[in-house]
Amino acid sequence: MPIQFFLTQDHALLAEYFELRSRVYRRHYPHLAAHFGREEAMDHRSHVVVGFDRRVMAGGRITISWPDRPQAMPMEGPGFRLVDLFPGWKLVSQPYAEFSRVAVDPVCAAGRRCSLGLIGNLARTTAAMGVDLVFSICPEPQVRWNEANSRRCGVEFHVFPEIAVPNPFGIPMTLCAYTGLVAAYSLKLSA
């Protein structure tokens, strides 16, 4: 059976996702605290999409800021606000989101089919909520994969290497944005 991707609030599936992302992040970033990736406050203000095949094989978090209910994105902190960095994108008057805590079990990471399915479902879910713009941060190798995945999903991908992004990973992270989600997924849903 292929991996099924879906939005979930099921406590057991969320617990599996938190365990997976903790294990994956610790594998790639062994210097992180032992609790990194476990359930955190931002999870309760976000939506989680999981990839499931007898167990959670992948997952990612969608955090949305709405004009009437603005909230800080996971990447934001003192002195680093997306609203200030992108005044031309009118983030005060339109919803935007961040994909974060994306994790894929190493067992199904080969060939990137699972990551494509996860990113596609994160994008589809976000578009269905009426959000057209999503930010993310990732290390350099992942930037190329995300760009390729976005092309396959039919959305635009923007990279901002000139913007220094504070992060807990101890390596440079690149700020990226996906745009055109609503148009891309409304066409796919109507086809």
More confident residue, 94 or 142: 94
Give the pLDDT band (50/70/90) at residue 191.
very low
What is the fold of 4-190? Aminopeptidase (3.40.630)
Q: How many CB atoms lie within 10 A of CB 43?
A: 18
Going by C-alpha positions, the residue among 119, 156, 121 that lies closest to residue 138 is 119
pTM of the model: 0.92
Q: What six digits make up the tokens of 5?
A: 């991707």
* Residue 88 CB-density burial (10 A; 0-12 exposed, 13-18 middle, 19+ buried): exposed
Give the pLDDT band (50/70/90) at residue 150.
confident
Q: Model confidence over 108-127: pLDDT tens digits?
A: 876 666 778 898 899 999 99
* Residue ranges of domains in the chain: 4-190
| Matching residue, tokens 């879906």 | 6
Q: Model confidence over 29-86: pLDDT tens digits?
A: 888 888 888 999 999 999 999 999 999 999 999 999 999 999 999 999 999 999 999 9
Which sign, positive or negative, has the C-alpha torsion 14, 150, 133, 159?
Answer: positive
